[in-house]
Structure 1
Amino acid sequence: KQENILLSDEGQPLLADFGLSTILGDEKMYSSSHRVGGSLAWMAPECMTGEARSCRSDVYSFGNVAFAVLTGELPYNGLADYRIILKVCDETSPGVPVEDWSKYPQLRGSIGDLLRACWSRSPEARPSISTIVERLTTL
């Protein structure tokens, strides 16, 4: 979440609060028995439902951070936790923090497509971080 991204004096982003971090490649750390915590507005659906987490869970969260940076708004701002869970996990809802895409002209085109891909309910359908970097460098 945005509160955990700090800026150095030179403007470089620095990550803070590694309370839920895991060691890359340590698959048992991503098991559903690993503790669940964090802020729901930034969390992937599989994290809310206790399913296995993966690097693709972080991609979903990246989409929410990018949304906040690009719009100046928090994802699911003003919603109670139970409403966030329903919105994200209910298969009949879009499951994304954007209700009205026309409200955000800065999300039109490729960047909006990238955010939609990051917010896919299926972790396998989300792009990898390296794909995200490639797509961002071409914008």
Structure 2
Amino acid sequence: MTFPPRPRAGPCPCGRAGPYESCCGRLHRGEARAVTAEDLLRSRYAAFAVGDRAYLLRTWHPATRPADLRLDPAQRWTGLEVLATDAGGGDDAVGEVTFRATFSAQGRAGSFVELSRFARRGRAWVYVDGDTEPADS
């Protein structure tokens, strides 16, 4: 079963200043593109937070994109911290972003650290893959 994205008022889940609608909401609606790999990472985190499955699939490299993506509507994404970036700028073809994500599921808090890899396809950044490990909550 798929769920439509949750409407989002208030601050953007990506952690940047400003409301969701004028931050990652613009990317989710297709009104803007991520300029850097970090921008794409933040917008994908926000897509998980608001339940925008279509955006997640659209921004996933076709070579590594899953055939289906199920989101748990009970899982709440509670924080994003970008720890490091390597390349992934406006003129780069590839980039990496290391981040810590926190969440709550079934009444329990959790977190993980991921090194995500991104590539540019045409003028758009896409998520390729990542290496994830549990982190202390």
Task: Report the TM range for the smaller structure's normalisation.
Answer: under 0.3
Larger radius of gyration: 1
TM-score (structure 1 length as normaliser): 0.27
TM-score (structure 2 length as normaliser): 0.28
Q: Which has the larger helix fraction?
A: 1
Q: Which has the larger strand fraction?
A: 2
